[in-house]
Structure 1
Amino acid sequence: MFDNRELLDLFSNVLKKMKKEWTKQLEHGLNPSQYFMLKALNHSGPRKATELAELLQMTPGAITGVSDKLVSEGYAERKGAKGDRRVVYLEITDKGKSYVESMTEKQKLVTSKFFEGLSEEEINHLIRIYQKIARNLDEQAR
């Protein structure tokens, strides 16, 4: 096995810098957890808190705190299920959809700057590497 300390240090450093740049783009006082929840709701539609917790790998308590902020700011709303009013779904609002669209565009611009100077071949090679890493992680999760 090779000494992967340098690789891990570099990978960690790059991830921290990317996260910092993406977080700088967030507007209106929303944090990354709130943005990711909005993004999930925008992509998958209304969800119960338990579904969001599993999807976002957060605790139910954290989901409640994040949802409360999104609801109070008008980015999402709670709706009871038609057949069972005890079941509550969180649903993105038009304001939330607009926010996600705006942030997605900003993230695309920021992300493109991360990879400036890399050739198409280098980008494709990087994609293949990340696909392999993702498969390795999926296999370990089984």
Structure 2
Amino acid sequence: MSYQIHQVDWGSQDNPIRQIRERVFVCELNIPKAIEFDGRDTTALHFIAYADNGEPVATARLCKDGLLGRIAVLPPHRNRGIYSQMLTFILSNAASNGLESICINCLLDEVERFKNKGFSPCGCVFMEAGIPRQRLQCPIAQCDSSPFTMVH
């Protein structure tokens, strides 16, 4: 299956974004809606991956301060490379969106993969919605935007 990734506007695409994130984060991971939908969505850049049948199957957001997050992939599309495709797409387009650096609050088992792309740890491991995470940061000019080797 092939995927098309597009940068989209929250105002016109909030419904599919909400549906995907609610299913993944609220229903699967039990993250409270108040944490998941934190008010930064209206000013963030959003990305949706569409399956070859036009169905929205994954989403992510990139905040104006460079924080990449809310990466959600619907269960039937996991382990098919979409997570990696989305990250590669977003990183390769970050500079054109006026960002000089990008950061991510990643799961601990993903830290090494991001380090291999040029990211460095910022601060200590912390808990976010009951999940241990590490903030990593990378200047856009030093970020390796070649395909990630992640399986999600």
**What TM-score results when the alignment is normalised by the length of structure 1?**
0.26
Higher strand share: 2
